[in-house]
Every structure is written in structure tokens, then in C-alpha cells.
Structure 1
Amino acid sequence: MEKKELHKLTDEELLLEKKKHYKSKIFNAITIGFLAGILIYGVFSWIQTPDKKLGLLIPMLIPLFFIYRMLKNPNKHNDLEKVLKERGLK
């Protein structure tokens, strides 16, 4: 949502947007933890194998890529937080 649209919303609508933002933060944190667990398990299982082939580590790039994408833009809801702070709804 653009900053211009956020100023047009009512207080109740802004609080609903805040709840959606909170839920997305929780979902992202759980997903990152799950993908990090997959990544750690894969690396440790690669370490345990007797023949250390590099090809076994290549699939571990997939969770690493998704973790990077989720962490790349953590401040995409700064405008919402600014509008909430201006209206004293925080």
C-alpha cells in the first residue's frame, strides 16, 4: 500500500493493517526458522557422509535463497508505522 493511501484510511482500517503486518512478521519468522533448520540439517548430514561430494550441498542453496529473499526487505511497512505513530495509535 502506498503512503498516500495510508493517510486516507480510518483509524480502524489502520489497526487492521497493523494486525496483518504483525501476522506476516510471525509467518516470516516461522518460515525462516524452518528453512534454517533444513539448511542446518543438510549441512550436518553432508558432514557425516563418508564421501564429501559438492553436489550434495547444491540443494542447500534453495533454502538459503528463500531466507535471503525474506531478509532482504524487512522495512517494507515503515510507512504504516509512521502513520500509526502520527495518529498516536501505537
Structure 2
Amino acid sequence: MEPKKISELDDQELLQEQKKLNSNKIISATLIGLLIGVFTYSAVKNGFTFFTFFPLFFVFLLTNSGKKKKEYENELKNEISARNLK
């Protein structure tokens, strides 16, 4: 099943997609904070080793995926405002 384009979604689906994006942003921010905390704890407890930097790698992956989703979010906001939804 292919994902629908934003212009093909009806009003309810657009609003649900916006809610889904908002909850994904909260989850990503929480994971990034947790991973930075793990990095900090590991650096203080064990010093800077090879395994200390694994959480930072995952933070990098999360932030890059967030940049890609930002374009989708902008398109979604434009479509919602074009349809005068709230």
C-alpha cells in the first residue's frame, strides 16, 4: 500500500497526521534527551571510550530524520491552512 499524497487526504486524515507528527516530535525529543544523559553518565563514570560515543551516533540519526520530516510537516501545515482547518 502506497502512502497517499497530502493533497489526496481528507480533512480528518490531515488533522490526524498533524497529531501524529506532534507526538513523534515529543518522542524524538525524549529519546534525544535520554541518549545525551546516557552519554554524559558514561563519560563521567568510565571516561571517554569507544562505547561512550554510541548514544551520540543515535542522536545524530534522530536529528537527521527530524530534518527530513520537517519538509513533510511544512507541506502538511500549508495544506491545513489552505483548507482553513484548525
Q: TM-score, normalised by structure 2?
A: 0.79
> The residue matched to 1:88 in structure 2 has which SS?
coil
Question: Number of residue pairs matched?
Answer: 81
Kindly state the Cα deviation for residue 30 of structure 1 after the two structures are TM-superposed: 0.7
- Please list every run of 5 or more consecutive structure 1 residues that lacks an aligned counterpart in the other structure: 48-55
Aligned pair partner of 2:61 in 41, 53, 69? 69
Identity over the aligned pairs, expressed in percent?
A: 32
User: Paired residue for 1:38?
Assistant: 38
Higher relative contact order (CA 8 A, sep 6+): 1
Moved over 4 A (4+): none
2:62, 2:81 → 1: CA distance? 25
Structure 2 unaligned spans of 5+ = none
Bigger radius of gyration among the two: 1
Match of 2:74 in 1: 78
- Root-mean-square deviation (CA), in Å? 2.1
